[in-house]
Amino acid sequence: MLILGLDPSLSCTGWGVVRSEGSRLTHIANGQIKSDAKAPIADRLAGLQREVAAVIAEYAPDRAAAEEIYLNKNPQSTLKLAQARGVVLAACGAAGLSVNEYAARLVKKAVVGTGAAEKTQVQAMLKVLLPSAKVAGPDAADALAVAIADAHLAPRA
C-alpha cells in the first residue's frame, strides 16, 4: 500500500510517500512545494494544485493522508492555510484518492508516542523509522510523519 502524506500550506506544502506492508514501512519519496509570496493568491493555489497532481501522477499512491487544519492566532493565516488545504484535498479527490485526516497531536503520538512531541523528536523518529530517507526539509518531514501515522492508524482494507 502506497500512502501519500501531505502537510498543506500556502507557503510550503510538504509531501511524502511511504510503502506500508504489514508493520514494515519503506520510504519512497518526499519533497516540498513552495510558492512565491509575491504572486497573486490564485496563481499560488493553481500552482499548488498542479504540483500535488503531478506528485499523485508520478507515484500513484493508493490513498492519501493530510494534517487537519489548526486555528492560528492570525485569522488571515488560518484562511490562507484553509485555502491551500482545500486545493490539496481537491487534487486528491480529482485523482480518486480517499484522504484520511489527522490532528497534529495524533500524528505526533503515532510517530513518537506522545502528542506533545517537539518537531525535533518527530524528525529523530523519522530517521529510525525511515533510515534511508533523505528528507527535503521540515514540511516534508511533517508530511512523512502524516503518512506514517496513517499507516499505523487507518483501518486495514
Known binding residues for Mg(2+): 7, 67, 139
Stated as kind and residue range, the H or E segment containing 16 is strand 12-21
DSSP 131: T
**Residues near 120 by beta carbon (within 8 Å), at least 6 away in sequence:** none
Of the candidates 21, 58, 68, 139, the residue annotated as catalytic is 139
Binding residues: 7, 67, 139
Catalytic status, residue 36: no
- Residues 147 and 143: their CA atoms lie apart, in Å, by 6
Q: Looking at the DSSP assignment, which residues form a beta bridge with residue 25?
A: 20
Asked whether 103 and 116 are in contact (CB, 8 A), the reply is no
CB of 111 closer than 8 Å to CB of 103: no
Catalytic residue among 51, 67, 142, 150: 67
Active site residue 67: yes
Q: For residue 91, which amino acid is it?
A: A
Secondary structure letter of residue 19 according to DSSP: E
Active-site residues, by number, are 7, 67, 139
